[in-house]
Amino acid sequence: MILPFQAPELTEERAVLFTILAGDIGATKTRLVCFQWKDGKRNILKEFRYQSAQFNSILEILELFLEEMPTIHSVCLAVAGPVVNANAVLTNLHWEVNRKDISAYFHMENVFLINDLEANAYGLAVLDAADLSLIHETDQQYNGNAAIISPGTGLGEAGLYWDGKHFHPFASEGGHCDFSPRTPTDTELLFYLGEKFGHVSWERMVCGPGIVNIYQFLKEEKKMDEPGWLKEKISTGDMPSIISAHIDKSALCDETMKLFFRYLAHESANIVLKLNATGGLFIGGGIAPKLMPCFARYNFFSSYCNSGRLNSLLEKVSINVIMNDKAALLGSAYYAMLNFRPG
């Protein structure tokens, strides 16, 4: 455990043999893992990844995954969207995920739905130091709340309240707050995206589709050159990945990622300031771990420490990138353990 979290009570059921189904349900993919705890050790019985859009509901995926599975004692599913009254509609997929339906499917009460970034935050209770990559080091240890920001298919954010002994994660939808421009180029981008989407949030820039938005703005509005070879590659592949892979060959790709990392830095500073997250900032999601050299290349820390009178606070916050792509699944499993009630 890299951070101090409240530990689950060791009931007789959990001490001997305990099986958990953990899920990370996103707009692009749904990942399910069946974990089994035996004598304090964690084993993976089954793990699978599904393309979410190929299914009509999470129940269809569960039925497929659970063939020939042992008895499940607890279930926790992390969903990419707000969870209200144990019900969620995925922001970028329009699935409805309902705890009542899932509980009825399993014929048990130990079924939990949590936000995917809340699950990522709980995952910090299970990760090791090797699962993190340090961006900025300080001598401050756990002294205050912490924050997590995760650019992926969308932009997720969550907080961790520090009670003086343990961290307590909570969900946020801060990625959908208004984007705030700082430069003339930012303002042009704001109006460009406003014409497309109406409301322009941080998620419109700081995620995979956000990389595409920035690229198209630079090409269409700033008239940056898109070479023929790049246009051909983009027409046949994953656009955000292609853009980030060609920063040394294309000024358009380079400028796109420069803006992306600046916006990530600004919104990272915003969440640290709003939560007074002196206990640390953690950057998760599927993009950052693949682009570690870009943090130095695009002066992430310099852009992060650009909030005027409170730069001194930002400088005191340690910054780590979460390198383990199972953080949300591990966090879901930990939450299921923590909240399990026998009987």
pLDDT digits (tens, 9 = 90+) for 260-305: 999 999 999 999 999 999 999 999 999 999 999 999 999 999 999 9
* Strands, sheet with 83-84, edge to edge from the N-terminal-most edge strand: 83-84, 87-89, 96-98
User: What band does 88 get if pLDDT is binned at 50, 70 and 90?
Assistant: confident
The percent of residues above 70 in pLDDT, for the chain, comes to 95
- 170 and 99, same structural domain? no
Is residue 2 domain-resident? no
Q: What is the mean pLDDT of the chain?
A: 91
Residues 162 and 310 in one domain: yes
Looking at the structure, tell me whether residues 69 and 141 fall in a common domain: no
The answer to whether residues 64 and 165 belong to one domain is: no
Whether 136 and 199 share a structural domain: yes
- Phi, psi at residue 161, to the nearest 5°? -75, 130
Q: Residue 179 carries which DSSP code? A: P
Element (H, E) at 265: helix 251-275
Q: What is the pTM of this model?
A: 0.93
Question: Does residue 205 lie in a domain region?
Answer: yes
- The structural domain count of the chain equals 2
Q: Is residue 332 part of a domain?
A: yes
pLDDT tops 80 at residue 9 = no
List the CATH number of the domain containing 245: 3.40.367.20
Phi, psi of 274, rounded to the nearest 5 degrees:
-65, -35
In a domain, 166, yes or no: yes
Q: Which residues of 35-54 are buried (b: 16+ CB within 10 A; e: fewer)?
A: bbbeeeeeeeebeeebebee
Q: Which long-range contacts (CB under 8 A, 24 or more apart) does 290-297 make?
A: 290/244, 291/244, 291/257, 292/133, 292/321, 294/244, 294/247, 294/257, 294/261, 295/135, 295/261, 295/321, 297/247
Domain of residue 334, residue span: 12-124+326-339
Instruction: Determine the distance from the C-alpha atom of residue 63 to the mean position of all C-alpha atoms in its chain, rounded to a whole number.
Output: 26
pLDDT in tens, 181-233: 999 999 999 999 999 999 999 999 999 999 999 999 999 999 999 999 999 99
Residue 333 lies in a domain: yes
Shared domain check, 92 and 145: no
| 82, containing H or E segment | none
Statement to judge: residues 221 and 292 lie in one domain: yes
Task: Clarify whether residues 177 and 262 are in a common domain.
Answer: yes
Q: By three-state DSSP, how is residue 44 classified?
A: strand
Distance (Å, whole) CA 99 – CA 92: 19
Taking Cα atoms as reference points, which of 229, 223, 256 lies closest to residue 240? 256
Claim to verify: residue 90 and residue 205 sit in the same structural domain: no
CATH number at residue 94: 3.30.420.40
Assigned domain for 288 exists? yes
Q: Is the pLDDT of residue 1 over 70?
A: no
pLDDT at 15: 55
pLDDT number for residue 12:
58
Same domain, 29 and 146: no
How is residue 92 written in tokens? 């970028």
Q: What is the DSSP string of 215-252?
A: HHHHHHTS-----HHHHHHHHHS-HHHHHHHTTTT-HH
**CB 312 within 8 Å of CB 265:** no
Whole-number pLDDT of residue 30: 93
**Range with the poorest average pLDDT among 138-147, 157-166, 223-232, 291-300:** 138-147
**What is residue 240's predicted lDDT score, i.e. its pLDDT?**
97
Residue 252 lies in a domain: yes
**174 and 84 share one domain:** no
Do the domain assignments include residue 3?
A: no
Q: Are residues 205 and 270 in the same domain?
A: yes
Tell me the CA distances in angstroms from 211 to 42, 197, 238, 261, one per residue in order: 37, 15, 11, 10
